[in-house]
Structure 1
Amino acid sequence: MNHNHDPLTLKLSLREKFAYGMGDFGSNLMLCIGTLYLLKFYTDELGMPAFYGGIIFLVAKFFTAFTDMLTGVLLDSRRNTGTAGKFRPFILYASVPVALVATAQFMANDFSLTMKTAIATVLFMMFGLFYSLMNCSYGAMVPAITKNPQERAHLAAWRQGGATVGLLLCTVGFMPVQSLFVGRPSLGYLVAALLFATCGLFCMWWCYSGVKERYVELAPEGHKPGIMKSFYAIFRNPPLLVLCIANLCTLAAFNIKLAIQVYYTQYVLNDIHLLSWMGFFSMGCILVGVLLVPGAVKRFGKKKVYLGGLALWALGDILNFFWGSSSLLFITFSCMAFFGTAFVNSLNWALVPDTVDYGEWKTGIRTEGSVYTGYTFSRKISAALAGFLPGIMLTQIGYVPNVEQSSTTLLGLRQLIFLWPCSLAIIAALTMGFFYKLNEQRFAFIIEEITHRKKQNMAPEVKTENKESAVTL
């Protein structure tokens, strides 16, 4: 460990924060081309039924949830780390197969439907496997970069900013590149995917070269990580468990909203072109929110800012449900909701490193990999369900494609895009408000306790027992 500076006050350079943000920018360039356009490629170029695409998505996401856990086991099993650190080598090397598979998913073929489906499923699962190695290492690296809670909030904001710009660039840039290949749409998809994946790869390498692991800590010799220990890492760590539950709600709400808004603009507002403007303004509001996160956290603390973001999100959705019947009001209230999501999504990542330190304080064993991948497991399950459920929901409200919808279906669409996400946001707020106890004061105490424990080389169990009454979480 670096003892030259107090770990709670050490400041990171702007250059290093920017490099860390480039990591999520690059990973989102490779991820979002699949999230946004792969289903359309399956249906339009491979001739696969849309239902098959939904099943592929569900299967692959559940598979990826478990590969995340395996990544955690691998990270916590590392004993011999060189100058590159514990996490950075995975960012460097795993990004290459991620870029290759992301591009390969957009290669057209003339095989049978069964073979096309099998190939698509295997490629999507391979992408998930390598993406887990790259992205989980990227996220789990934060506690090794800094112990300063303010700097962690800054890194989370830069990360969310990079992710938002990556999503925005994929939204506005992919199809224009694809459409350049008139008469050869399959080639257009492949070239666009290659371009975005290559840019994403170089961004990951930029992140690798620009960040530094200052606090590399390995698990003790007798500690043997395993998938079950990743689950235990969640249930034996109350702040992490609460964060997982809240995050499952917020991620599902966000994904359902994104999936339904195309139907809402087309059938309720009768303006499908509004979607592109919606994307531009909503991403702009998210970026503004991300820029405000560090200052807001410094003034109010992470938990209050998180709850404030959820309140803005819920309020925007409620206003939209009752009064968002025109394009102008829909965009206005949606911007309010998306502005709130910026604080929530940024702090989701900033709170995880704090739970790593809590787990070390409570058990005496530091397991960044298990904690982080246990957390991402809940995110992947949420994403799998949120990617599959809108289709079932649309069926339940009587949606029929490309016809004028009944009043019952229109009401159902309004409920799906506003009331469901709003309800989930309120559940997340209640969960965090009543059960998340790891505030700034307790966190500072825990870091001081861990540091003192290591200096004195004391047994973790003894120290925890002596101080358990002082901090109850």
Structure 2
Amino acid sequence: MKTYLGYGTGDFGLNIYWNALSLILVFWYAEVVGLSPDAAGLIYFIGMAWDAVSDVVIANLTQRTRTRYGTYRPYLAIGGVILGAAFVLLFWVPPLEGWILMVALAMAHILFRLAYTIVAVPYSALASRLSFDSRERTVLSGTRMAFAFLGLLAVSGLWFPIVRFFGDGTDESPTGFLVAALLGGIIATIALQACFLFTRERTLETLHERPADLSFRGFWRAVRANRALQVLLLAIFLQSGAGASFLIPLAFYIEAHAADFARKEAVMTAYAVATLASIPVWTAVIRRFGKRLGWISACWVVISAGLLLALLGPVLIGGLPLQILLYGVGFSGFGVLVWALVPDTVEFGQWKSGTRNEGAVFGSVLLSQKTAGGLAGLLVGTVLTAVGYDPDLARQSLETADRLELYMFAGPSILLFLSSLVILRLPLNRHIHAKIVEEIQSH
């Protein structure tokens, strides 16, 4: 239990950062700094593109590390402090203008993304050293996601109240954003230190394998040799694109419906509560019916939410759109599924090639997620401009709100429909994985 809770605490910290960027960053660029939606989306894409490339480098670096504290845990302790400082810098508006301001903001974003990668890659890979049992990994993933969605809940419910309290009383206060980032960075840093203290890595000798080729050529060779990983990477790319296509424009969508919806933090908190409350259900469903069927089910829950939004418009109860809550239920499933499936592909690759390359698996997964997120951020900036969103207007037109609503349905739905087809090709289930682990240990 200590291992489960300790590992989950780390994702609470990381998801303060991840959700602040997913929900807040593009909004901050456009509404607070005053950039056009196109420029905001471009800076978001640049940071994510750098992040995706650096994943490969950091994955190889971390897997080479050998210390008395383990291979991955030291990065949480040291990198966590650097990451907190970079997060505060990300939400500082430098006294610059024009293209020089854009360059400065892009550099701050790149710095943060590099610091995030230094922590997130080893944190994700750590799961493969905590347990080698597929069912235990589902519980570990479920616990991790419970803490992750607590991070989402913290950002959703507290960010804008903090901005208003420490700023000028509005949602667009630069001082308020800086204070919110400072508090978030402190809390996240403490959470990552707790993860370092309360987890222990199992050594490589507990499974028998030849040493992995830790070169970049070995990285890509390991990906090419792992059919299960290839299928999962494509499914994750599509799912991550769908999630980003929904979350990044969410604050703008709420702003466009400001006359009818509750405040941003109320809608976002309701979404976060729906995701958090659904985790035990998804964990039970996955343990009972398997990960592949769970993935398909999560896809269709989100698609159903989009269809209801497109056909009926937002159905409100107390200013809360019910379809947004249903989106939360669906996306919650992927939070459990992704990190329950990914460690299983480590053993699949080891079984096929005779070498265990955790860096290739977790580095390529994060590469897939961040590439999809970066492209979605770039697309959202373009879409906001195309639908007529104007940050200078106190209230957006009804036509703008309707067009944004159509995008939030169509984008995620198309991507998740494709993802549900891809996951059918996954050559893994719990029984196959158990046999693979047994065969590896017998050699």
User: How far apart, CA to CA, are the structure 1 residues paired with 2:427 and 2:210?
Assistant: 31
* Higher gyration radius (CA): 1
Q: Is the 8 A contact 1:145 1:215 kept in 2?
A: no
AA partner of residue 119 (structure 1): A
User: How far apart, CA to CA, are the structure 2 residues paired with 1:134 and 1:211?
Assistant: 15
Shift of residue 399, structure 1, vs aligned partner: 5.1
Counterpart position of 1:351 = 341
Q: Which of 125, 133, 144 is the aligned partner of 1:159?
A: 144
Q: Which of 123, 129, 147 is the aligned partner of 2:108?
A: 123
In the alignment, is residue 303 of structure 1 matched against residue 288 of structure 2? no
Q: Is the 8 A contact 2:80 2:119 kept in 1?
A: yes
Pair 1:262–1:118, CA change in 2 (3 A)? closer
Counterpart position of 1:209 = 197
Q: Is the 8 A contact 2:389 2:396 kept in 1?
A: no
SS at match of 1:438: coil
Return the TM-score normalized by structure 2. 0.89
Counterpart position of 2:222 = 233
User: How far apart, CA to CA, are the structure 2 residues paired with 1:417 and 1:183?
Assistant: 31
Q: Deviations over 1:14-53 (max 9, x none)?
A: 2221111110101122343344444455456655444433
Shift of residue 279, structure 1, vs aligned partner: 1.9
Shift of residue 359, structure 1, vs aligned partner: 0.5
In the alignment, is residue 175 of structure 1 matched against residue 175 of structure 2? no
SS at match of 1:126: helix
Pair 1:111–1:311, CA change in 2 (3 A)? closer
Q: Which of 264, 274, 283 is the aligned partner of 1:285?
A: 274
- The answer to which of 398-407 and 150-159 deviates more is 398-407
Q: Is the 8 A contact 1:318 1:418 kept in 2?
A: yes
Shift of residue 350, structure 1, vs aligned partner: 0.9
After superposition, where does 1:302-381 map in structure 2 within 5 Å? 302-328=291-317, 331-381=321-371
AA partner of residue 205 (structure 1): Q
Counterpart position of 1:427 = 418
After superposition, where does 1:51-90 map in structure 2 within 5 Å? 51-78=38-65, 81-90=66-75
Shift of residue 242, structure 1, vs aligned partner: 1.1
Q: Is the 8 A contact 2:208 2:441 kept in 1?
A: no
Q: Is the 8 A contact 2:228 2:428 kept in 1?
A: yes
User: How far apart, CA to CA, are the structure 2 residues paired with 1:103 and 1:289?
Assistant: 31
- The answer to which of 196-205 and 123-132 deviates more is 123-132
User: How far apart, CA to CA, are the structure 1 residues paired with 2:342 and 2:22?
Assistant: 24
Q: Which of 412, 422, 433 is the aligned partner of 1:443?
A: 433
Shift of residue 423, structure 1, vs aligned partner: 1.8
Pair 1:60–1:266, CA change in 2 (3 A)? closer
User: How far apart, CA to CA, are the structure 1 residues paired with 2:134 and 2:224?
Assistant: 23
- In structure 1, list runs of 5 or more residues that go unmatched: 1-13, 454-473
Counterpart position of 2:184 = 196
User: How far apart, CA to CA, are the structure 1 residues paired with 2:308 and 2:179?
Assistant: 42
SS at match of 2:176: helix
Counterpart position of 2:84 = 99
Q: Is the 8 A contact 1:103 1:194 kept in 2?
A: yes
After superposition, where does 1:211-290 map in structure 2 within 5 Å? 211-216=199-204, 223-265=212-254, 267=256, 270-273=259-262, 275-290=264-279
AA partner of residue 391 (structure 1): G
Tell me the matched-pair count. Answer: 436
Q: Deviations over 1:79-108 (max 9, x none)?
A: xx2331111111111111101111122334
User: How far apart, CA to CA, are the structure 1 residues paired with 2:383 and 2:178?
Assistant: 32
Shift of residue 413, structure 1, vs aligned partner: 2.9
Q: Is the 8 A contact 2:314 2:321 kept in 1?
A: no
Q: Deviations over 1:438-459 (max 9, x none)?
A: 0111101100010001xxxxxx
- The answer to which of 418-427 and 131-140 deviates more is 418-427
User: How far apart, CA to CA, are the structure 2 residues paired with 1:37 and 1:334?
Assistant: 17
Q: Is the 8 A contact 1:46 1:116 kept in 2?
A: no
- The answer to which of 331-340 and 15-24 deviates more is 331-340
Return the TM-score normalized by structure 1. 0.84
Give the RMSD, CA atoms, in angstroms. Answer: 2.7
User: How far apart, CA to CA, are the structure 2 residues paired with 1:277 and 1:177?
Assistant: 14
Higher relative contact order (CA 8 A, sep 6+): 2
